[in-house]
Amino acid sequence: MESIWTQTTEIQSYDKLTEDMTADAVVIGGGMAGILTAYKLTQNNIDTIVLEASRIGSGQTKNTTAKITSQHDIIYSRLTEDFGEDLARQYAAANENAIREYKRIIEKENIDCNFEEKPAYLYSQNQQDVKRLQDEADAARELGIDAEYTTETHLPFSVAGAVKFNNQAQFHPLKFLKEIAKGLTIFEDTRVIKVEEDTVFTETAKVRAKHIIFATHFPFINAPGFYFARMHQERSYVLALKGAAKLDGMYLGVDDDGISLRNFDDMLLFGGGNHRTGENSAGGKYDFLRAKAKEFIPQSKEIACWSAQDCITLDGVPYIGQYSSSVLNWYVATGFAKWGMTSSMVSAMIISDMILGRENPNAEVFSPSRFTPSASTKTFIEDLGQTVKGLARQFFTFPDEKAERLRAGSGGIVEIAGEKVGVYKDEEHKLHIVSVKCPHLGCQLEWNPDEKSWDCPCHGSRFDYRGNLIDNPAQTNLERIDTSQS
């Protein structure tokens, strides 16, 4: 299940780190946030090294719907209430600036990446959401965003109301990433295993640097920072459709089971099916989207499907800035929710300013050390409950299928010799048996039938059916219980 971005772009490969090095800054993670940060630092003559465990752009960047917007669901009315007008205005300004900065870089570097300026809409088909949308339009406008409430859209179905954000944009993320990576010092296939003070250790060599930036989607260092206790992860799904009418902009539904839509070339990206990572044991997310596509756009034809994963902070605002007060030379960019492209640019602007000793007027709202009890308490309790549940499942017995009853192409948790393990029977009827104890903090993994993966409901680590690591914060593969059948 490859995204259309991967299908339509080939990025050059970079060497693996094989000898010790020193630099002014080292960026851990070669996604959009990491590459943008390295680009901005390098543009300011800061000697910077990027370390990527796989290939640049191979994580969440390749799975985005690639909207560059300050429109982030219904957020500005909430931010104004929970953070106050000054901090809410910082959030709005930072994201509006990020849109303009993408345009500036694309024009400066003459990058062909299908960049298009288009409006972004929030919409709902439910009448009870109209007041929320009207309030969001008012709040966004008060904070300096060109936004308006409307009932007119180009969608292939009727809506009760919508908020239109003008002067937004969309692009091809990997075409952009490929070009700004040129000229940077990048090492691929270089997994970081630990960080101590000013030294980053990989499996083959180490890098010493004055500044260390964690741009790894989910920070893999548990302490200091304790980000695992302050975030959870969610998944969403996308279909690429041909045969759909061209839209005037980008759309996101705010009602239950709302759909995200945007065009690319002659395709329509049709997304939704959101759920917390590790909570999709029933599956059916792609089927849900296919049913919606058939309902709304019966003439369309599916040509690709893929999924994405996003980190969600306690108060819904990314953590961007100093990693912890105990390590002044570490920086972090995480918790982008569904808005990774704009947040990546915000991160690059804030972190590069911090390293260069420049004041960024919009940094305070994103500070990882902020304390927002009114916005965070409910989410913290929900996340804590999920972690307790995930840990408890390791010690109590629940009814499960026996391995021999699994159908070809299916997976589940079974007990073998008194031990709970994950079993997947592939299309050739071979069994793949792995531990279902997450190597991050020990929560019990759950089977995701839509993607044939083992997912952690506590912190979002994911593994394929063979036990190979897909998504962090875990750093190692699962134990294979019966490798002779793998």
How many C-beta atoms surround the C-beta of residue 114 within 10 A? Answer: 15
Per-residue pLDDT of the chain (486 residues; tens, 9 = 90+): 899 999 999 999 999 999 999 999 999 999 999 999 999 999 999 999 999 999 999 999 999 999 999 999 999 999 999 999 999 999 999 999 999 999 999 999 999 999 999 999 999 999 999 999 999 999 999 999 999 999 999 999 999 999 999 999 999 999 999 999 999 999 999 999 999 999 999 999 999 999 999 999 999 999 999 999 999 999 999 999 999 999 999 999 999 889 999 999 999 999 999 999 999 989 999 999 999 999 999 999 999 999 999 999 999 999 999 999 999 999 999 999 999 999 999 999 999 999 999 999 999 999 999 976 655 555 655 655 555 455 445 444 444 444 555 666 688 888 777 778 999 988 888 889 999 999 999 999 999 999 999 999 999 999 999 999 999 899 899 999 864 544
Q: Considering only CA atoms, which of 345, 358, 343, 329 is closest in space to residue 25?
A: 329
- Both tokens of 263, joined, read 């065009």
**Rounded Cα–Cα distance for residues 416 and 48 (Å):** 50
The torsion defined by the Cα of 121, 125, 131 and 133, in degrees rounded to 10, comes to -10
Q: Domain residues of the chain, as ranges?
A: 403-485
Residues 121, 165, 303: CA angle, nearest 5 degrees: 40
pTM: predicted TM-score of the whole model, two decimal places: 0.90
In 281-401, beta strands by DSSP E: 301-313, 319-324, 327-334
How far does CA 162 lie from the centroid of its chain? Answer: 25
CATH classification for the domain delimited by 403-485, as one of 2.102.10.10, 1.10.10.10, 2.30.130.10, 3.90.660.10: 2.102.10.10
> What does the alpha-carbon distance between residue 417 and residue 445 come to, in Å, rounded to a whole number?
19
